[in-house]
């Protein structure tokens, strides 16, 4: 099957960022074009593009879109002032996935290397090439995670996953879903249980869609069914992605992941997390300092256009939770498997990456 191109740059330097509007899937396949940095910000905030690596790639292209207003200016200070403005602005879109800050930092560092040596127009061109490089690297990284992780899944096993971690959440192929795709491509027969993933239903809307497109056996369950499905013996492995992993291995991911890890431990089922090096935030000693995004209560009370709770009800809507490292059997990165999940093993596998 053709890989999903969740986002891509269209045209030359004065082009734009085109992406699948993931809020419309699976009923409609619609692409939108972001022609200014406000449109990129809005697309990230509203989850038109989502998933940690895809957010990072979108932010890198967002910098290029944002710089179009100054790429022909002669004044270097104006250009770098705008670069700060654009990166600071994009950094306010979503707080948890560190890939966003990693990508913005990489773009700023790249620009900084050429300050005083090249014109704004030349630096803008270098930055577009850098955004494309981040995008292209992610394709290779996803394949590598798939290769390393595939050996963890036995033929005939049931695999439970949460949220969406596939081609839609990355340049293509995915993180946790890459492992499932690679295992399936190597001939293993898997039955995937996809959590619905309340409140925004990334599992129901996106993961089942991706798995069905690839002909992988997938069964949709409500989040509240996961423990029972494990108890029934249907699941031999749980695998998720992550939005930020601290130096000790504590991993933030979509709300509900922590509960899955606890259930997996209670049933002696290995819990795996697949994430690229750009998702590790080695500046944080543990998961306690990971910022957790709080989202609009309407996502809980008025999901998908229908009111499902009384007017005025108090709502708590954290978008992520943190799974302690002790519950993670193995971290799967593009550099290989990390187990046991310890600070030392992480440090030796993951090269330090700039963080927020």
Tokens of 48: 């038109």
Q: Residue 23, class by beta-carbon neighbours within 10 Å (0-12 exposed, 13-18 middle, 19+ buried)?
A: middle
Annotated catalytic residue 243:
yes
Q: Please pick, from the candidates 68, 71, 93, 165, the single residue that binds ligand MRU as defined by CB under 6 A.
A: 165
Q: Is 150 in the site for ligand MRU (CB under 6 A)?
A: no
Q: Please pick, from the candidates 130, 138, 210, 243, the single residue that binds ligand MRU as defined by CB under 6 A.
A: 243
Omega of the bond leading into 340 within 30 degrees of 0 (cis): yes
Q: Which stretch binds ligand MRU (CB under 6 A): 79-87, 128-136, 165-173, 215-223?
A: 165-173
Catalytic residue among 138, 195, 223, 243: 243
Q: Comparing C-alpha atoms, which of 143, 173, 181, 180 is closest to residue 334?
A: 143
**Matching residue, tokens 């096993």:** 157
Q: Please pick, from the candidates 68, 71, 202, 353, the single residue that binds ligand MRU as defined by CB under 6 A.
A: 202
Confirm if 70 and 47 have CB atoms less than 8 A apart: no
| Residues binding ligand MRU: number (CB under 6 A) | 19
Rounded to whole angstroms, the Cα distance separating 208 from 22 reads: 13
DSSP at 154: P
Tokens of 135: 């995008």
Q: Which stretch binds ligand MRU (CB under 6 A): 10-18, 143-151, 169-177, 262-270?
A: 169-177
Q: Please pick, from the candidates 4, 17, 43, 47, the single residue that binds ligand MRU as defined by CB under 6 A.
A: 47
The minimum distance between CB 162 and ligand MRU, in angstroms, equals: 7
Rounded to whole angstroms, the Cα distance separating 328 from 350 reads: 17
Rounded to whole angstroms, the Cα distance separating 49 from 60 reads: 13
Q: Please pick, from the candidates 9, 53, 209, 216, the single residue that binds ligand MRU as defined by CB under 6 A.
A: 53
- End-to-end CA, the chain: 37
Residue with Cβ nearer ligand MRU (202 or 333):
202
Q: Is 142 in the site for ligand MRU (CB under 6 A)?
A: no
Q: Please pick, from the candidates 108, 148, 198, 254, the single residue that binds ligand MRU as defined by CB under 6 A.
A: 254
Site string for ligand MRU, 296-335 (x = CB under 6 A): -----------------------x----------------
Q: Which stretch binds ligand MRU (CB under 6 A): 2-10, 45-53, 78-86, 147-155?
A: 45-53
Q: In the beta sheet, which residues pair with residue 96?
A: none
Element spanning 84, H or E? helix 76-90
Query: For binding to ligand MRU (CB under 6 A), which residues are involved?
Result: 47, 50-53, 97, 163, 165, 169-170, 175, 202, 240-243, 253-254, 319
């Amino acid at each position: 099957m053709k890989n999903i191109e969740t986002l891509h740059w269209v045209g030359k330097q004065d082009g734009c960022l085109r992406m699948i509007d993931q809020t419309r899937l699976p009923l409609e396949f619609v692409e939108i074009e972001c022609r200014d940095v406000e449109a990129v910000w809005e697309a990230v905030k509203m989850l038109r593009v989502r998933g940690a690596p895809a957010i990072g790639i979108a932010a890198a292209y967002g910098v290029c879109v944002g710089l179009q207003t100054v790429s022909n200016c002669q004044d270097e200070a104006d250009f770098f002032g705008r670069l700060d403005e654009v990166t600071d602005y994009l950094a306010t879109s979503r707080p948890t996935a560190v890939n966003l800050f990693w990508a913005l930092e990489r773009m700023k560092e790249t620009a900084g290397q050429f300050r005083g040596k090249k014109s704004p127009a030349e630096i803008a061109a270098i930055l577009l090439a850098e955004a494309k490089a981040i995008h292209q690297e992610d394709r290779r990284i996803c394949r590598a995670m798939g290769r390393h992780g595939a050996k963890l899944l036995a033929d005939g096993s049931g695999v439970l996953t949460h949220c969406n971690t596939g081609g839609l959440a990355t340049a293509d192929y995915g993180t946790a879903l890459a492992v499932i795709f690679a295992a399936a491509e190597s001939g293993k027969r898997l039955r995937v249980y996809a959590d619905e993933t309340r409140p925004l239903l990334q599992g129901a809307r996106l993961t089942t869609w991706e798995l069905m497109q690839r002909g992988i056996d997938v069964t949709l369950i409500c989040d509240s069914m996961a423990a029972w499905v494990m108890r029934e013996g249907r699941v031999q492995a749980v695998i998720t992605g992550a939005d930020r992993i601290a130096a000790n291995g504590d991993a933030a991911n979509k709300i509900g992941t922590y509960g899955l890890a606890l259930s997996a431990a209670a049933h002696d089922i290995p819990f795996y997390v697949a994430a690229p090096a750009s998702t590790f935030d080695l500046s944080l000693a543990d998961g306690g300092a990971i910022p957790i995004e709080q989202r609009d209560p309407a996502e809980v009370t008025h999901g998908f256009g229908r009111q499902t709770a009384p007017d005025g009800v108090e709502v708590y809507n954290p978008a992520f939770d943190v799974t302690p490292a002790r519950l993670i059997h193995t971290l799967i990165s593009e550099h290989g498997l990390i187990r046991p999940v310890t600070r030392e093993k992480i440090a030796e596998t993951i090269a330090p990456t700039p963080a927020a």
